[in-house]
Amino acid sequence: MDTLALAELHCLALQAEDKTVAGRMLIELHRAVPDWHIIEREGLCYLQRVFAFGSFAEALTFTDRVGALAQVEGHHPSILTESGRVCVSWWTHPLKGLHSNDFIMAAKTDRLHQHATAPIH
């Protein structure tokens, strides 16, 4: 799957039997969002990417757009907004790790960054 295809998907509601992605599925999903780093810290695995901007105002606008997207999809990240940069981290809180929803949201976040005026889907 490529980034564009992944960005067209929508987050699915978690089911009781859902588990974190691993193995071949983890590798394939990560290939679709290669600019994101898989980070493991204190037993929690998440996707993280830092986006650079020319000003705090641009970074804040991007942060607001990511927040609006998260509301639409019902899946929420950790966002750190600083002067000229935004660090976004996606993971599935109930699973304490990565689910396909996180990769979908990473792809959608990439699309927001690439197309600052693109509508939120």
Query: What CATH code is carried by the domain that includes residue 39?
Result: 3.30.1360.20
Residue 81 resides in a domain: yes
From CA 104, how far away is CA 109, in angstroms rounded?
9
Domain range spanning residue 53? 20-114
The 10s digit of each residue's pLDDT in 38-66 is: 999 988 999 999 999 999 999 999 999 99
Q: Contact at 8 Å (CB) between 95 and 22?
A: no
Alpha-carbon Rg for the chain in angstroms:
14
Long-range contacts of 67-70 (CB under 8 A, 24+ apart): 68/120, 69/105, 69/108, 69/109, 69/112, 69/120, 70/105
Q: How many domains does the chain have?
A: 1
DSSP state, 97? B
Residue 12 resides in a domain: no
The 10s digit of each residue's pLDDT in 76-89 is: 999 999 999 999 99
**The residue type at 16:** A
